[in-house]
Amino acid sequence: MHSLLNVATDLEERNPIGVVPPINVNPYRAACVDCRVSSLCLPTGLCKHGNDRFSELIRQRIRIKKGYGLYHANDPLEYLYAVRLGSFKTCFANAEGQGLVTNFWMPGDTMGCDAISTNRHVCSAFALEDSEVCLIPYQRLESLAHEFPFLQQSLNRLLSSEIVREHKRLLMMCNLTAEERMASFLLGLSKRYVERGFSAHSFVLRMSRDDIASYLGLRLETVCRCIAHLRHLDIVQFSGRTVEILNLPGLKALEHGYSKGSAANQ
């Protein structure tokens, strides 16, 4: 039991890496200054000069079509990848082929940091919609971070915050019921959309039910049932992948299990 599908295999076969040539976008244009999500990205807070130098690093900005892979487990670490547009999922699998979705990535997020430890990617990244990423050559990033200590600190914080995020996820897996996880997931998405200037109440899920299930440590059917329940409670409206949060406080209450008769924690 508990053997989740290998979430990568099906897509990997659709995209033997290298088959889809990266599409170079605006190679001569400064990447960061006019980027909509620069305030969330790695060079945030860097001085003008540092920011310019960082922009010079980004020699390639590439487009990835929906469903295709950007990098794969065991690829040598060459770049970190900053999402500029669209969204991705990353999948981690062991030797036995059991795998899971480790994260969903939105504009401003930087993917691939887990590769630094071994100089090889341990996850595979797939576009959930037509997307655009900036390629950050890691070697040169290291050099630049040496020149600009603030950048080094940002990188350290980025790495550390991934550890904390994983801690929180572990906590969720251990302590929350399926419904609480689902509520937590939707609230997390909502928050991230707000950070990016979108509505907190209304958004479109870019990932399948199966991806959500994998991310939450559940099965697809359980996710569906949770969604059905949220609908019946009139807390969230779903139509396909379009989400409408009707009762945000109610959803937050669900996340903390206040709906059940658990020990009264204020």
- Tell me which residues touch DNA (CB under 7 A): 1-3, 177-179, 208-210, 217-222, 224-225, 227-228, 238, 240-241
The CB-of-146 to a copy of itself minimum distance in angstroms stands at 6
Residue 75 within binding range of a copy of itself, rule CB under 8 A? no
Tell me whether residue 137 or residue 257 sits nearer to a copy of itself (CB atom).
257
Residues 81 and 112 sit within 8 Å (Cβ to Cβ): yes
Tell me whether residue 48 or residue 260 sits nearer to a copy of itself (CB atom).
260
Q: How far apart are CA 14 and CA 242, in angstroms?
A: 26
Number of H helices, E strands in the chain: 8, 12
Token pair 């109610």: residue: 250
Phi, psi of 76, rounded to the nearest 5 degrees? -65, 145
Which amino acid is located at 239 in the chain?
S
With CB under 5 to 8 Å by kind, the binding choice for 245 among a copy of itself, DNA, none is none
* Helix pair 149-175, 138-147: axis angle to 10 deg: 120
Residue 223 within binding range of a copy of itself, rule CB under 8 A? no
Tell me whether residue 101 or residue 144 sits nearer to DNA (CB atom).
101
Per-position DSSP letters for 184-200, written without gaps between them: HHHHHHHHHHHHTT--S
Which amino acid is located at 49 in the chain?
H
Options 15-23, 52-60, 154-162, 199-207: segment touching a copy of itself (CB under 8 A): 154-162
The CB-of-101 to DNA minimum distance in angstroms stands at 13
Which amino acid is located at 266 in the chain?
Q
Tell me whether residue 86 or residue 217 sits nearer to a copy of itself (CB atom).
217
Identify the DSSP state of 9: H
Closest CA to 141 of 64, 73, 41, 74: 41
Residue 174 within binding range of a copy of itself, rule CB under 8 A? yes
Task: List residues near a copy of itself by CB under 8 A.
Answer: 1-4, 92-94, 96-100, 102, 113-118, 122-123, 142, 145-146, 149, 152-153, 155-164, 166-171, 173-177, 214, 217, 256-257, 262-263, 265
